[in-house]
Amino acid sequence: MFSRILIANRGEIALRIIRACRELDIETVVIYSEADKDASYLRLADETVCIGPASPSASYLDISRILSAAEIGDVEAIHPGYGFLAENINFAKICRDCGIKFIGPSPEAMQLLGDKVQARKLAKKADVPIVPGSEGIIEDIDDAVKVAEGIGYPLMMKAVSGGGGRGMRIVHNEENLRSAFKSAGAEAKAAFGDGTMYLEKFIIKPRHVEVQIMADEKGNALHFYERDCTIQRRHQKMVEESPCPVLDERTREKLCEAALRIIKKAKYSNAATVEFLLDKDNKFYFIEVNTRIQVEHPVTEMVTGRDLIKLQLEVASGKELEIEQRDIKHTGVAIECRINAEDPENNFAPCPGRIERYIPPGGPGVRVDSCAYQGWNVSPNYDSMIAKVIVHQRTRTEAIATMKRALSEFVIEPIKTSIPACQEIISHNLFAKGKIDTDFVERHL
Ligand code: MV4
């Protein structure tokens, strides 16, 4: 196992990783920007290094500054958390060239799965259902029209290097297709440096279901069941839960096995999430793989009783996974609500500012992952997430009741947060029945 690592991230995930390291007796070097100098978790680090100003491009995204900190801090490995450099192939390569272990997959696996067209081809080879769509990339507009006629409208135009809903367009007809090919292509080029596009059949009102995977560097891979992340607004997840409330045991097993087949075909190691769309008939289609630990990983930790961050550290240090698939049990129901600093009266725009009063919930079945405290300043420079409230109970009905109770206890003043929006979702009768799809938030809130 490592004896000292660098945490190349901030906020609640930096704290989450510090906690895992302390339990494993690993020393931590934590970087921070000038905006984060008062962060609560810095006192828990063995060493802290200020790497630059508030702007992410001059601090948390600046590879040379991070590697300098790793050099000064004399670490063996870097945990990237999520966001920032977590899925940056170049960063993973440079770490390897510098003899520092990147706690995540190999750059080759990241490259393969980061290309959505290659990932689709891989899934097909692994005998995993994919959304009907173009064989490869769309070469030009004539090609797009031809492919579209073959699949039939409505369609989804997606960026090969995209993900999480960016560079994506629904197209209903040839006219849409022509404008989407131009505009989404330009958007993707600007955002990812790659404007190539592909086409998929548009799945109407699907659910978003994803499978948590952990793989070691010896070829062993395990699944930790699924999460349902259907409740989103503008591709930002708001509520996540496990298990998916509408999956039968047989489909669920098939889904998890399918996810494992993709991961094994990619010769993948470390944490991954394999995303699927679930249609009205409970048929699932692979869409993409996220090559990082995700925000919503605690949902899986609660229902499986496994510490995914510790597992990441173990497999990255070269250890073989000791547990077998049959050892991974799924108990009860977990739900997570993301609490963001946002203003519902201002189109849910980020609403940063100083927290004057902070009283987090607690009690039976409640976990709060947050680095917030009274006096903490929610910076406008970063993601507006303040806390994650995770509940775990034997049944979904009890989990919903515990979440309602937890959210009602939570005091964050005076900044506006997504607590009321989460309360509305959690209290909705359609949510209670599990009758939700990707349009739920837009239609009912
Ligand atoms: C889709 C889709 C319908 N058909 N692909 C959104 C995020 C990205 N990971 C994939 N997304 C979608 N891809 C096809 N072929 C609908 C969505 C989608 C969505 C999916 C899950 C949860 C919320 C969503 C909101 C809008 C669109």
The string of pLDDT tens digits covering residues 177-205 is 999 998 998 999 998 889 999 999 999 99
pLDDT of residue 387: 98
The CATH number of residue 156's host domain is 3.30.1490.20
The answer for residues whose C-beta is within 8 angstroms of residue 268's C-beta and 6 or more apart is: 105, 109, 113, 213, 215, 221, 291
Examine the fold and report which residue of 51, 83, 103 is the final residue of a domain before the chain moves on: 103
The mean pLDDT of 53-57, rounded to a whole number, is: 98
CA atoms of 314 and 418, how far apart (whole Å): 35
Q: How far is the centre of ligand 1, averaged over its atoms, from the C-alpha of 287 (Å)?
A: 9
Examine the fold and report which residue of 62, 84, 103 is the final residue of a domain before the chain moves on: 103
Q: Are residues 270 and 416 in the same domain?
A: yes
pLDDT band (50, 70, 90) for residue 116: very high
Q: Which helix or strand (DSSP H or E) is residue 210 part of? A: strand 207-215
Residue 162 has pLDDT above 90, yes or no: no
Please, what's the b/e burial string for 353-376 (b: 16 or more CB within 10 A of its CB; e: otherwise)?
A: eebeebebbeeebbbbbbbbeeeb
pLDDT of residue 204: 95
pLDDT tens by residue, 349-383 = 999 999 999 999 999 999 999 999 999 999 999 99
CA atoms of 72 and 220, how far apart (whole Å): 34
**Structure letter (DSSP) for residue 151:** H
Q: Are residues 96 and 9 in the same domain?
A: yes
pLDDT of residue 165: 77
Going by CA atoms, what residue is nearest to atom 6 of ligand 1?
165
Please report the atom of ligand 1 found closest to the CA of residue 200: 15
% of the chain at pLDDT higher than 70: 100
- For residue 138 the two structure tokens come to 């769309």
Q: Are residues 433 and 315 in the same domain?
A: yes
Instruction: Answer yes or no: is 112 within a domain.
Output: no
Q: Are residues 300 and 219 in the same domain?
A: yes
Q: Going by DSSP bridges, is the β-strand pair 385-393/333-340 parallel, antiparallel, or unpaired?
A: antiparallel
Residues in contact with ligand 1 by the CB-under-6-Å rule are 131, 156, 164-165, 200-203, 206, 208, 230, 232, 235, 275, 277, 287-288, 438
Residues in the chain: 445
Give CA separation, 52 vs 81, 182, 256, 286, 412, in Å: 19, 37, 42, 40, 29
Q: Are residues 367 and 424 in the same domain?
A: yes
Q: Which domain holds residue 97?
A: 4-103
Name which of 50-64, 160-174, 343-357 the model is least confident about: 160-174
Instruction: Answer yes or no: is 264 within a domain.
Output: yes
The mean pLDDT of 339-344, rounded to a whole number, is: 95
pLDDT of residue 60: 98
Residue 270 has pLDDT above 90, yes or no: yes
CA atoms of 134 and 284, how far apart (whole Å): 18
Instruction: Answer yes or no: is 117 within a domain.
Output: no
Task: Determine the residue of 166, 198, 202, 208 to mutate for testing ligand 1's pocket, defined as the one with the most ligand atoms within 8 A of the Cβ atom.
Answer: 208
163: left (phi over 0), alpha (psi -120 to 50) or beta: left
Q: How far is the centre of ligand 1, averaged over its atoms, from the C-alpha of 204 (Å)?
A: 9
Which of the residues are catalytic? 292
**Strand partners for 377:** 354
Q: Are residues 92 and 174 in the same domain?
A: no
Instruction: Answer yes or no: is 143 within a domain.
Output: yes
pLDDT of residue 164: 74
The mean pLDDT of 379-402, rounded to a whole number, is: 98
Residue 33 has pLDDT above 90, yes or no: yes
Number of structural domains in the chain:
3
The CATH number of residue 63's host domain is 3.40.50.20
List, as own/partner pairs, every contact residues 54-62 make where C-beta atoms lie below 8 angstroms and the sequence separation is at least 24, other chains included.
54/379, 54/381, 55/381, 56/84, 56/381, 56/382, 59/31, 59/33, 59/34, 60/8, 60/9, 60/10, 60/31, 60/33, 60/84, 60/85, 61/85
CA atoms of 85 and 107, how far apart (whole Å): 12
Q: Are residues 179 and 285 in the same domain?
A: no
Q: Are residues 273 and 367 in the same domain?
A: yes
Residue 344 has pLDDT above 80, yes or no: yes
Q: Are residues 402 and 417 in the same domain?
A: yes
Instruction: Answer yes or no: is 429 within a domain.
Output: yes
Q: How far is the centre of ligand 1, averaged over its atoms, from the C-alpha of 174 (Å)?
A: 21
pLDDT tens by residue, 403-445 = 999 999 999 999 999 999 999 999 999 999 999 988 899 898 8
Q: Tokens 């790793």 appear where?
A: 70
- Distance separating the N- and C-terminal Cα atoms of the chain: 47
Instruction: Answer yes or no: is 122 within a domain.
Output: no
Please report the atom of ligand 1 found closest to the CA of residue 438: 23
The DSSP code sequence of 248-267 is -HHHHHHHHHHHHHHHHHTT
For the beta carbon of residue 137, count every other beta carbon within 10 angstroms. 14
Q: Are residues 252 and 181 in the same domain?
A: no
On the question of a cis peptide bond just before residue 360, with omega within 30 degrees of 0, the verdict is no
Q: Are residues 231 and 196 in the same domain?
A: no
Please give the angle made by the CA atoms of 298, 66 and 314, to the nearest 5 degrees. 40
Q: Are residues 430 and 326 in the same domain?
A: yes
The CATH number of residue 305's host domain is 3.30.470.20
Q: How far is the centre of ligand 1, averaged over its atoms, from the C-alpha of 367 (Å)?
A: 29
Instruction: Answer yes or no: is 273 within a domain.
Output: yes
Give CA separation, 304 vs 104, 109, 400, 437, in Å: 21, 26, 19, 25
- H helices of 266-414, in order, are 297-304, 308-316, 396-409
The mean pLDDT of 262-290, rounded to a whole number, is: 98
Instruction: Answer yes or no: is 63 within a domain.
Output: yes
Give CA separation, 9 vs 13, 61, 286, in Å: 7, 9, 29
Examine the fold and report which residue of 201, 216, 236 is the final residue of a domain before the chain moves on: 201
Give CA separation, 45 vs 6, 76, 238, 311, in Å: 10, 16, 30, 20
pLDDT of residue 199: 97
